Amino acid sequence: MTIQSRLADLRRHAPRPLSTSVALATGLTPGFAVYEAPFGEVAVSFTPSGIRSVRLTSEVDPLALEAQPPSAWAKAIPRALEEGRPGRLPLDLASLTPFRRSVLAIAATIPKGEVRSYGWLARHIGKPGAARAVGSAMATNPVPLIVPCHRVVRSDGHIGAYSLGGAQNKWVLLRHEGADPDELEELAASGVRFLASRSTGMCCVPSCRNARRITARHLEVFPSESAATNAGYRPCEVCRPFD
Amino acid sequence: MMDDLCNRLADNLDDAFGEVVTMLADDVYSGLRQMAGLHEAEDLTQETFIRAYGALRTYERSRIRHLRLRGWIWTIALNLGRNHARDRSRRPTPVALEDRHAVHDPEPPDSAAWNRRLSALSPTLRTAVVLRHVVGLDYADIAEATGRAEGTVKSDVHRALRKLRSIMEEEA
């Protein structure tokens, strides 16, 4: 045997997982991992650029491979799911329009246990007429739980629909984080949009943490912004109800 | 076949890149085993393709169309063989780690002997002879990979073979 042919015999097949590793590491194939949510399991998919989607485990992207997320995110993912905000976790939202990205960015600022309306979000991105478009951005939010679209309710105050497994999951999530969806529904049904405190002179959306501190003796309720401002109330600085 | 793949890479990098891995993974893995060591080879091969993808993303289409792909991938692999910087913490990794070792080819009985013989060569001669005879590159691809003239590479390979022959005679 020549040296040349003995050298040629040193050729080996690359180990099989190599192409999978490369596909995951380049982001050409998204990876996914399963996490516990208050209503059951969810599949979180990711590329090296960030989190790409949160879906029910029955609806995982068929192209995604079960994978370990980058170790730098191992703790950040469950924390983001539990807190309902991305924190430092990067999101891979490059495929969304700038409008949708800005809606998600504002929605991510809604505090745990509180809700805001589509109209409130529309005003906060500087497009007060866009409540309907905001609703559709929420309905197609690729990263529910992490961007907490469960905290965004109809402009009339009703809890409304939810994309991740249906409206009942929105109720489960809101209860889980200390909100009272039954009470919010009752207020909405009776036309109450704002709660005000006679002692502070402040007016809030019903789920604002300041609104929840108003005692029954000081509470005044209003169906509209104009009714509240005509009565002399100032907007709360936490929930900024009229912005 | 490589030219056709380069055209498809230029047209749609993301769709065609998987074929680059399929086509060249054995090349890169086999060569790195003899240059960087059996244990490093798998990681470095993976890293080579990750960097290759990153580089191709920054290239103009016309540059991709005219790449000598088989040699070019080695410009990256050789660089990595010299410099192991990696950042694994930012990457998703496959879940089925226990499968990783089940699919390795069996080692040839004289694998350790060849490792020792090749280690006795200077890095330049070892690279040349491994790329020519283990990986199977032609001289033009080796010239592309190493940045040396084709004639020089040819003489490197001949000198390496002569040296190996004398090492083996000493053994016998």
pLDDT digits (tens, 9 = 90+) for A159-175: 999 999 999 999 999 99
Provide the pLDDT for residue B104: 65
Residue B86 confidence class, pLDDT cut points 50, 70, 90 = very low
Provide the pLDDT for residue B83: 65
Over residues A58-68, mean pLDDT: 91
> Is A15 at the interface with chain B, CB within 8 A?
yes
pLDDT in tens, A193-216: 999 999 999 999 999 999 989 999
DSSP E strand boundaries for chain A: 31-37, 40-47, 50-56, 65-68, 116-117, 152-153, 194-197, 202-204, 219-222, 234-235
Q: Are A115 and A151 in contact (CB under 8 A)?
A: yes
Q: Which one of A1, A2, A19, A26 would you mutate to disrupt binding with B, by most B Cβ within 10 Å of its Cβ?
A: A26
Residue A80 CA: distances (Å) to CA of A35, A74, A101, A146, B126 = 11, 11, 18, 5, 50
Reported ipTM = 0.85
Residue B172 confidence class, pLDDT cut points 50, 70, 90 = confident
Residue B111 confidence class, pLDDT cut points 50, 70, 90 = confident
Provide the pLDDT for residue B85: 41
* Amino acid at the residue A131: A
The mean pLDDT value of chain A amounts to: 93
This model's pTM is above 0.90: no
- Cβ contact A17–B22 (<8 Å): no
- Cβ contact A22–B50 (<8 Å): yes
- Cβ contact A14–B29 (<8 Å): yes
**Residue A2 and residue B164: Cα distance in Å, rounded?**
11
pLDDT in tens, A84-132: 999 999 999 988 999 999 999 999 999 999 999 999 999 999 998 998 9
Nearest Cβ partner for A65 among B34, B54, B94: B94
> Is B62 at the interface with chain A, CB within 8 A?
no
> Is B120 at the interface with chain A, CB within 8 A?
no
Please choose, from the candidates A154, A148, A161, A155, the residue with its C-alpha nearest in 3D space to the C-alpha of residue A112: A148
Catalytic-residue membership of A149: yes
- Cβ contact B42–A18 (<8 Å): yes
Helices B139-146 and B150-171, interaxial angle, to 10°?
100
Provide the pLDDT for residue B87: 47
| Stretch among A13-17, A231-235, B6-10 having the lowest mean pLDDT | A13-17
**Residue A128 and residue A119: Cα distance in Å, rounded?**
7
Provide the pLDDT for residue B3: 80
